Amino acid sequence: MKFIENIFSVKNENNHKILTICWIKFKFYSPRKELHNLRNEIGNQSIKVNNQVISEFIDLAREEGYFLSANRGFNLNPEKKVLKEQIKNKTNNHEYKMTHRSCLCGANNDKLLAIRDRYGIEINTVICKNCGLIRSNPYYDEKTLNDFYNIEYRELYTFVNNDKEKFFNNQVNIGNKIIENIINNFSFTFENKIVYEIGTGMGGILKAFKDRGATIKGVDLGKEYIEIGKSKGLDIEVGSTETLGKYGQADLIILNHVIEHIVNPVDFLMGIKSLLKEDGLLYIAVPTIETIQTNYRNNIFHYLQNAHVYNFSQETLTYVIECAGYNPNAHIYSDGAIICKKANKNRAVDDINIEHYNYAMALLKKCDMTFYSEYKNI
Protein backbone atom coordinates (compact mmCIF):
# COMPACT_ATOMS: atom_id res chain seq x y z
CA MET A 1 0.00 0.00 0.00
CA LYS A 2 2.87 2.42 0.80
CA PHE A 3 4.22 1.90 -2.70
CA ILE A 4 0.81 2.63 -4.25
CA GLU A 5 0.39 5.74 -2.10
CA ASN A 6 3.76 7.05 -3.24
CA ILE A 7 2.83 6.56 -6.87
CA PHE A 8 -0.45 8.35 -6.38
CA SER A 9 1.19 11.22 -4.52
CA VAL A 10 3.74 11.78 -7.26
CA LYS A 11 1.09 11.57 -9.90
CA ASN A 12 -1.15 13.95 -7.99
CA GLU A 13 1.59 16.53 -7.98
CA ASN A 14 1.81 16.16 -11.74
CA ASN A 15 -1.94 16.01 -12.18
CA HIS A 16 -1.77 12.48 -13.62
CA LYS A 17 -3.72 10.56 -10.99
CA ILE A 18 -6.62 9.58 -13.26
CA LEU A 19 -4.32 8.34 -15.98
CA THR A 20 -2.46 6.22 -13.47
CA ILE A 21 -5.65 4.59 -12.17
CA CYS A 22 -6.80 3.83 -15.72
CA TRP A 23 -3.40 2.30 -16.50
CA ILE A 24 -3.58 0.05 -13.46
CA LYS A 25 -7.11 -1.06 -14.38
CA PHE A 26 -6.05 -1.81 -17.94
CA LYS A 27 -3.16 -3.92 -16.74
CA PHE A 28 -5.44 -5.80 -14.36
CA TYR A 29 -7.92 -6.72 -17.09
CA SER A 30 -5.44 -7.11 -19.94
CA PRO A 31 -5.48 -10.40 -21.88
CA ARG A 32 -1.67 -10.14 -22.10
CA LYS A 33 -1.74 -12.33 -19.00
CA GLU A 34 -2.49 -15.34 -21.16
CA LEU A 35 0.33 -14.54 -23.54
CA HIS A 36 2.78 -14.51 -20.64
CA ASN A 37 1.39 -17.83 -19.42
CA LEU A 38 1.54 -19.21 -22.94
CA ARG A 39 5.17 -18.18 -23.37
CA ASN A 40 5.99 -19.85 -20.06
CA GLU A 41 4.34 -23.05 -21.25
CA ILE A 42 5.99 -23.28 -24.66
CA GLY A 43 9.25 -21.46 -24.01
CA ASN A 44 10.75 -19.90 -27.12
CA GLN A 45 8.69 -21.97 -29.52
CA SER A 46 6.20 -20.23 -31.78
CA ILE A 47 2.62 -21.33 -32.20
CA LYS A 48 2.23 -23.08 -35.55
CA VAL A 49 -0.64 -24.38 -37.61
CA ASN A 50 0.03 -26.00 -40.98
CA ASN A 51 3.65 -24.86 -40.51
CA GLN A 52 2.58 -21.20 -40.47
CA VAL A 53 3.91 -19.23 -37.50
CA ILE A 54 1.24 -17.35 -35.53
CA SER A 55 2.44 -14.34 -33.55
CA GLU A 56 2.37 -14.60 -29.74
CA PHE A 57 1.93 -10.85 -29.30
CA ILE A 58 -1.47 -9.50 -28.45
CA ASP A 59 -1.86 -6.87 -31.18
CA LEU A 60 -0.99 -9.23 -33.99
CA ALA A 61 -2.93 -12.01 -32.30
CA ARG A 62 -6.04 -9.83 -32.27
CA GLU A 63 -5.49 -8.86 -35.89
CA GLU A 64 -5.05 -12.48 -36.88
CA GLY A 65 -8.10 -13.62 -34.93
CA TYR A 66 -6.31 -15.59 -32.21
CA PHE A 67 -8.71 -15.58 -29.27
CA LEU A 68 -7.33 -15.59 -25.73
CA SER A 69 -8.79 -18.07 -23.26
CA ALA A 70 -7.38 -16.87 -19.91
CA ASN A 71 -9.88 -17.70 -17.16
CA ARG A 72 -12.73 -17.94 -19.71
CA GLY A 73 -13.38 -21.67 -19.70
CA PHE A 74 -15.36 -23.82 -17.30
CA ASN A 75 -14.41 -24.15 -13.66
CA LEU A 76 -13.93 -27.89 -13.32
CA ASN A 77 -14.67 -29.89 -10.19
CA PRO A 78 -11.92 -32.27 -8.96
CA GLU A 79 -13.34 -35.26 -10.84
CA LYS A 80 -13.41 -33.40 -14.13
CA LYS A 81 -9.91 -32.03 -13.57
CA VAL A 82 -8.74 -35.63 -13.34
CA LEU A 83 -10.44 -36.41 -16.68
CA LYS A 84 -8.85 -33.34 -18.28
CA GLU A 85 -5.38 -34.40 -17.09
CA GLN A 86 -6.08 -37.94 -18.24
CA ILE A 87 -6.83 -36.71 -21.77
CA LYS A 88 -3.75 -34.47 -21.71
CA ASN A 89 -1.47 -37.32 -20.61
CA LYS A 90 -2.89 -39.72 -23.18
CA THR A 91 -2.33 -37.12 -25.90
CA ASN A 92 1.23 -36.37 -24.75
CA ASN A 93 1.99 -40.10 -24.61
CA HIS A 94 0.50 -40.58 -28.11
CA GLU A 95 -2.09 -43.00 -26.78
CA TYR A 96 -4.57 -40.45 -28.10
CA LYS A 97 -3.39 -39.63 -31.60
CA MET A 98 -4.24 -36.66 -33.79
CA THR A 99 -4.06 -36.30 -37.56
CA HIS A 100 -4.30 -33.41 -40.01
CA ARG A 101 -7.58 -33.10 -41.89
CA SER A 102 -8.28 -30.85 -44.85
CA CYS A 103 -11.39 -28.68 -44.88
CA LEU A 104 -14.57 -30.19 -46.33
CA CYS A 105 -14.21 -27.81 -49.29
CA GLY A 106 -10.80 -29.37 -50.03
CA ALA A 107 -8.69 -26.38 -49.05
CA ASN A 108 -5.70 -26.34 -46.70
CA ASN A 109 -5.63 -22.61 -46.04
CA ASP A 110 -6.37 -22.21 -42.34
CA LYS A 111 -6.11 -19.47 -39.76
CA LEU A 112 -5.62 -20.37 -36.10
CA LEU A 113 -8.36 -19.16 -33.76
CA ALA A 114 -7.63 -20.87 -30.44
CA ILE A 115 -5.32 -23.50 -28.96
CA ARG A 116 -7.57 -24.87 -26.18
CA ASP A 117 -11.23 -25.57 -25.56
CA ARG A 118 -13.66 -24.73 -22.75
CA TYR A 119 -12.21 -27.44 -20.49
CA GLY A 120 -8.66 -26.25 -21.01
CA ILE A 121 -7.90 -29.24 -23.24
CA GLU A 122 -5.25 -28.35 -25.79
CA ILE A 123 -6.70 -28.54 -29.29
CA ASN A 124 -6.37 -26.18 -32.26
CA THR A 125 -9.49 -24.49 -33.62
CA VAL A 126 -8.96 -23.11 -37.13
CA ILE A 127 -11.07 -21.38 -39.77
CA CYS A 128 -10.80 -22.10 -43.48
CA LYS A 129 -9.95 -18.92 -45.39
CA ASN A 130 -11.56 -20.43 -48.48
CA CYS A 131 -15.10 -21.18 -47.21
CA GLY A 132 -15.22 -19.95 -43.60
CA LEU A 133 -15.87 -23.39 -42.05
CA ILE A 134 -14.46 -23.64 -38.52
CA ARG A 135 -13.02 -26.98 -37.40
CA SER A 136 -10.56 -28.66 -35.05
CA ASN A 137 -7.30 -29.43 -36.84
CA PRO A 138 -5.41 -31.63 -36.28
CA TYR A 139 -8.11 -33.87 -34.86
CA TYR A 140 -8.34 -37.24 -33.15
CA ASP A 141 -8.09 -40.41 -35.25
CA GLU A 142 -10.85 -43.02 -35.28
CA LYS A 143 -9.47 -45.22 -32.49
CA THR A 144 -8.88 -42.20 -30.25
CA LEU A 145 -12.45 -41.01 -30.76
CA ASN A 146 -13.86 -44.43 -29.89
CA ASP A 147 -11.79 -44.57 -26.70
CA PHE A 148 -12.58 -40.97 -25.72
CA TYR A 149 -16.34 -41.42 -26.11
CA ASN A 150 -16.28 -44.69 -24.17
CA ILE A 151 -14.03 -43.49 -21.33
CA GLU A 152 -14.08 -39.73 -20.72
CA TYR A 153 -16.79 -38.06 -22.78
CA ARG A 154 -19.98 -38.56 -20.77
CA GLU A 155 -18.49 -37.77 -17.36
CA LEU A 156 -16.61 -34.75 -18.67
CA TYR A 157 -19.53 -33.27 -20.58
CA THR A 158 -22.38 -33.82 -18.11
CA PHE A 159 -22.56 -30.65 -16.01
CA VAL A 160 -25.62 -31.17 -13.82
CA ASN A 161 -23.79 -32.92 -10.98
CA ASN A 162 -23.99 -35.97 -13.22
CA ASP A 163 -27.71 -36.16 -12.36
CA LYS A 164 -28.85 -38.64 -14.99
CA GLU A 165 -32.55 -38.22 -14.22
CA LYS A 166 -32.28 -34.47 -14.72
CA PHE A 167 -30.41 -35.06 -17.97
CA PHE A 168 -33.16 -37.41 -19.19
CA ASN A 169 -35.95 -34.95 -18.36
CA ASN A 170 -34.05 -32.18 -20.13
CA GLN A 171 -33.91 -34.36 -23.23
CA VAL A 172 -37.67 -34.92 -23.04
CA ASN A 173 -38.15 -31.14 -23.01
CA ILE A 174 -35.92 -30.84 -26.08
CA GLY A 175 -38.03 -33.52 -27.79
CA ASN A 176 -41.19 -31.49 -27.16
CA LYS A 177 -39.53 -28.40 -28.65
CA ILE A 178 -38.56 -30.38 -31.75
CA ILE A 179 -42.16 -31.51 -32.08
CA GLU A 180 -43.35 -27.90 -31.88
CA ASN A 181 -40.80 -26.83 -34.52
CA ILE A 182 -41.95 -29.53 -36.92
CA ILE A 183 -45.65 -28.86 -36.37
CA ASN A 184 -45.11 -25.12 -36.93
CA ASN A 185 -43.38 -25.71 -40.27
CA PHE A 186 -45.04 -28.83 -41.72
CA SER A 187 -48.41 -30.55 -41.85
CA PHE A 188 -47.12 -33.44 -39.82
CA THR A 189 -48.74 -35.64 -37.20
CA PHE A 190 -46.78 -38.18 -35.18
CA GLU A 191 -49.34 -40.89 -34.51
CA ASN A 192 -48.26 -44.11 -36.23
CA LYS A 193 -45.19 -42.39 -37.65
CA ILE A 194 -41.77 -44.05 -37.43
CA VAL A 195 -39.12 -41.88 -35.75
CA TYR A 196 -35.40 -42.71 -35.54
CA GLU A 197 -32.78 -40.92 -33.49
CA ILE A 198 -29.06 -41.39 -34.03
CA GLY A 199 -26.97 -40.52 -30.98
CA THR A 200 -30.00 -40.94 -28.74
CA GLY A 201 -28.23 -41.11 -25.36
CA MET A 202 -30.89 -42.22 -22.86
CA GLY A 203 -33.65 -41.67 -25.42
CA GLY A 204 -35.30 -38.73 -23.67
CA ILE A 205 -36.03 -36.97 -26.96
CA LEU A 206 -37.70 -40.10 -28.34
CA LYS A 207 -39.82 -40.34 -25.18
CA ALA A 208 -41.58 -37.12 -26.25
CA PHE A 209 -42.39 -38.67 -29.65
CA LYS A 210 -43.53 -41.94 -28.12
CA ASP A 211 -45.97 -39.98 -25.95
CA ARG A 212 -47.42 -38.53 -29.19
CA GLY A 213 -48.10 -42.00 -30.61
CA ALA A 214 -44.98 -42.48 -32.74
CA THR A 215 -43.10 -45.74 -33.15
CA ILE A 216 -39.55 -44.97 -32.03
CA LYS A 217 -36.11 -46.48 -32.45
CA GLY A 218 -32.84 -45.02 -31.18
CA VAL A 219 -29.19 -45.98 -31.36
CA ASP A 220 -26.14 -44.77 -29.49
CA LEU A 221 -22.63 -46.09 -28.85
CA GLY A 222 -22.83 -45.40 -25.10
CA LYS A 223 -23.97 -48.59 -23.34
CA GLU A 224 -24.62 -47.01 -19.92
CA TYR A 225 -27.10 -44.44 -21.20
CA ILE A 226 -28.82 -46.97 -23.45
CA GLU A 227 -29.44 -49.26 -20.49
CA ILE A 228 -31.03 -46.37 -18.55
CA GLY A 229 -33.35 -45.60 -21.47
CA LYS A 230 -34.31 -49.25 -21.91
CA SER A 231 -35.23 -49.43 -18.21
CA LYS A 232 -37.74 -46.65 -18.94
CA GLY A 233 -39.42 -48.74 -21.61
CA LEU A 234 -37.83 -47.10 -24.65
CA ASP A 235 -36.93 -49.06 -27.79
CA ILE A 236 -33.28 -48.08 -28.05
CA GLU A 237 -30.08 -50.07 -28.41
CA VAL A 238 -26.33 -49.86 -28.67
CA GLY A 239 -25.51 -49.38 -32.33
CA SER A 240 -25.07 -47.03 -35.25
CA THR A 241 -26.77 -46.15 -38.52
CA GLU A 242 -26.08 -49.65 -39.82
CA THR A 243 -28.11 -51.04 -36.92
CA LEU A 244 -31.18 -49.06 -38.00
CA GLY A 245 -31.03 -50.49 -41.52
CA LYS A 246 -32.75 -53.72 -40.50
CA TYR A 247 -35.81 -51.81 -39.24
CA GLY A 248 -36.82 -50.23 -42.56
CA GLN A 249 -37.35 -46.55 -43.37
CA ALA A 250 -38.45 -43.74 -41.05
CA ASP A 251 -40.78 -40.78 -41.45
CA LEU A 252 -38.43 -38.66 -39.34
CA ILE A 253 -34.76 -38.96 -38.43
CA ILE A 254 -33.38 -36.82 -35.60
CA LEU A 255 -29.76 -35.73 -35.36
CA ASN A 256 -29.66 -33.53 -32.28
CA HIS A 257 -26.14 -32.22 -31.70
CA VAL A 258 -24.59 -35.09 -33.63
CA ILE A 259 -23.02 -34.02 -36.91
CA GLU A 260 -20.62 -31.55 -35.29
CA HIS A 261 -19.04 -34.71 -33.84
CA ILE A 262 -18.82 -36.50 -37.22
CA VAL A 263 -15.46 -36.36 -39.01
CA ASN A 264 -17.04 -36.84 -42.47
CA PRO A 265 -20.51 -35.24 -42.13
CA VAL A 266 -21.30 -35.12 -45.86
CA ASP A 267 -20.63 -38.85 -46.29
CA PHE A 268 -22.54 -39.57 -43.08
CA LEU A 269 -25.64 -37.64 -44.20
CA MET A 270 -25.55 -39.27 -47.62
CA GLY A 271 -25.29 -42.66 -45.93
CA ILE A 272 -28.49 -42.26 -43.90
CA LYS A 273 -30.61 -41.32 -46.93
CA SER A 274 -31.59 -44.96 -47.35
CA LEU A 275 -33.11 -44.87 -43.83
CA LEU A 276 -35.48 -42.02 -44.73
CA LYS A 277 -38.72 -42.31 -46.67
CA GLU A 278 -38.93 -40.24 -49.87
CA ASP A 279 -41.22 -37.69 -48.22
CA GLY A 280 -39.58 -38.04 -44.81
CA LEU A 281 -38.03 -35.29 -42.70
CA LEU A 282 -34.50 -34.98 -41.39
CA TYR A 283 -34.11 -32.81 -38.28
CA ILE A 284 -30.59 -31.51 -37.65
CA ALA A 285 -29.61 -29.30 -34.72
CA VAL A 286 -26.11 -28.04 -33.96
CA PRO A 287 -24.74 -25.18 -31.83
CA THR A 288 -23.91 -22.79 -34.69
CA ILE A 289 -21.47 -19.93 -34.14
CA GLU A 290 -24.46 -17.57 -34.21
CA THR A 291 -25.59 -19.12 -30.91
CA ILE A 292 -22.41 -17.91 -29.14
CA GLN A 293 -24.20 -14.59 -28.66
CA THR A 294 -27.49 -16.03 -27.42
CA ASN A 295 -26.55 -19.24 -25.61
CA TYR A 296 -22.96 -18.68 -24.47
CA ARG A 297 -22.98 -15.01 -23.38
CA ASN A 298 -20.48 -14.14 -26.14
CA ASN A 299 -17.85 -16.32 -24.44
CA ILE A 300 -16.10 -18.28 -27.18
CA PHE A 301 -14.45 -20.41 -24.51
CA HIS A 302 -17.76 -21.67 -23.20
CA TYR A 303 -18.51 -22.73 -26.78
CA LEU A 304 -15.40 -24.51 -28.07
CA GLN A 305 -15.31 -28.23 -27.27
CA ASN A 306 -12.73 -30.91 -28.00
CA ALA A 307 -15.53 -33.33 -28.93
CA HIS A 308 -16.63 -31.05 -31.79
CA VAL A 309 -14.63 -31.49 -34.96
CA TYR A 310 -16.76 -28.78 -36.64
CA ASN A 311 -18.20 -25.46 -35.48
CA PHE A 312 -20.82 -24.71 -38.11
CA SER A 313 -22.44 -21.42 -38.98
CA GLN A 314 -25.85 -21.11 -40.58
CA GLU A 315 -24.12 -20.90 -43.95
CA THR A 316 -21.69 -23.80 -43.54
CA LEU A 317 -24.35 -26.07 -42.03
CA THR A 318 -26.56 -25.40 -45.06
CA TYR A 319 -23.54 -26.05 -47.32
CA VAL A 320 -22.95 -29.49 -45.76
CA ILE A 321 -26.62 -30.45 -45.90
CA GLU A 322 -26.96 -29.46 -49.57
CA CYS A 323 -23.70 -31.20 -50.52
CA ALA A 324 -25.19 -34.37 -49.00
CA GLY A 325 -28.28 -34.05 -51.20
CA TYR A 326 -30.90 -32.52 -48.92
CA ASN A 327 -33.08 -29.46 -49.31
CA PRO A 328 -33.24 -27.33 -46.13
CA ASN A 329 -36.94 -26.49 -46.15
CA ALA A 330 -37.16 -24.84 -42.74
CA HIS A 331 -34.48 -22.99 -40.82
CA ILE A 332 -34.85 -22.58 -37.07
CA TYR A 333 -31.63 -20.81 -36.37
CA SER A 334 -32.47 -19.66 -32.85
CA ASP A 335 -31.93 -23.31 -31.90
CA GLY A 336 -29.23 -23.87 -34.54
CA ALA A 337 -31.64 -26.28 -36.25
CA ILE A 338 -32.65 -27.10 -39.81
CA ILE A 339 -35.46 -29.35 -41.03
CA CYS A 340 -34.86 -30.81 -44.47
CA LYS A 341 -36.02 -33.28 -47.08
CA LYS A 342 -34.28 -35.26 -49.78
CA ALA A 343 -33.26 -33.16 -52.79
CA ASN A 344 -33.01 -34.13 -56.45
CA LYS A 345 -29.33 -33.23 -56.69
CA ASN A 346 -26.29 -32.55 -54.54
CA ARG A 347 -24.60 -29.17 -54.23
CA ALA A 348 -21.08 -29.18 -55.66
CA VAL A 349 -18.33 -29.27 -53.03
CA ASP A 350 -16.60 -26.29 -54.65
CA ASP A 351 -19.84 -24.26 -54.63
CA ILE A 352 -18.82 -22.12 -51.65
CA ASN A 353 -19.62 -18.62 -50.48
CA ILE A 354 -16.24 -16.86 -50.72
CA GLU A 355 -17.50 -13.98 -48.58
CA HIS A 356 -18.39 -16.23 -45.68
CA TYR A 357 -14.91 -16.21 -44.16
CA ASN A 358 -15.19 -12.46 -43.56
CA TYR A 359 -18.67 -12.91 -42.08
CA ALA A 360 -17.53 -15.64 -39.68
CA MET A 361 -14.46 -13.71 -38.55
CA ALA A 362 -16.46 -10.53 -37.99
CA LEU A 363 -19.02 -12.44 -35.93
CA LEU A 364 -16.39 -14.11 -33.74
CA LYS A 365 -14.50 -10.86 -33.16
CA LYS A 366 -17.74 -9.10 -32.28
CA CYS A 367 -18.51 -11.82 -29.73
CA ASP A 368 -15.00 -11.55 -28.31
CA MET A 369 -15.04 -7.78 -27.96
CA THR A 370 -18.57 -7.81 -26.51
CA PHE A 371 -17.47 -10.37 -23.96
CA TYR A 372 -14.51 -8.27 -22.82
CA SER A 373 -16.49 -5.05 -22.72
CA GLU A 374 -19.43 -6.55 -20.77
CA TYR A 375 -17.87 -9.11 -18.46
CA LYS A 376 -14.10 -8.37 -18.17
CA ASN A 377 -13.68 -11.60 -16.27
CA ILE A 378 -10.18 -12.57 -17.24
Residue 350: closest CA among 375, 319, 310: 319
pLDDT in tens, 327-370: 998 887 777 899 999 999 999 999 999 999 999 999 998 888 88
Burial 109-148 (b: 16+ CB within 10 A, else e): bbbbbbbbbbbbbebbbbbbbbbbbbbbbebbeeebbeeb
pLDDT in tens, 221-278: 888 889 999 999 999 999 889 899 999 999 999 999 999 999 999 999 999 999 999 9
Percent of the chain having pLDDT more than 90?
61
Classified by CATH at the fold level, domain 164-355 comes out as Rossmann fold (3.40.50)
Which residue intervals of the chain bear CATH 3.40.50.150?
164-355
Q: Is the pLDDT of residue 132 over 80?
A: yes
Selected residue with higher pLDDT from 150 and 280: 280
